[in-house]
Structure 1
Amino acid sequence: MENKTKMRFENIEQRDKQLKEFRTIKYIIDKKNPLIVWIYI
């Protein structure tokens, strides 16, 4: 089973900038709140 870490961002631009740096990391953008991203570690 994989572990997830929740990351919260102030805005979409900040989120997208951070996600570009996660090229090799698996993540899911939360459906209810697009400012929350779940990172698989």
Structure 2
Amino acid sequence: SLPHHFNHDLLEDDKLDSIIEEEPTEECAELVEDVKELMQSV
């Protein structure tokens, strides 16, 4: 499960968690990194 400081308007935590659990792929890992960078830039 991810930290809950993500912008809920951008991504739903449950949806993101389910994606990661079902598709633990490198592409998904890159998506998470992109989200982290986006949150830091706000």
Q: Same fold (TM over 0.5)?
A: no
* TM range, smaller chain: 0.3 to 0.5
TM-score, normalized by length of structure 2? Answer: 0.39
Of Structure 1 and Structure 2, the greater strand share is in: 1
Of Structure 1 and Structure 2, the greater helix share is in: 2
TM-score, normalized by length of structure 1? Answer: 0.40
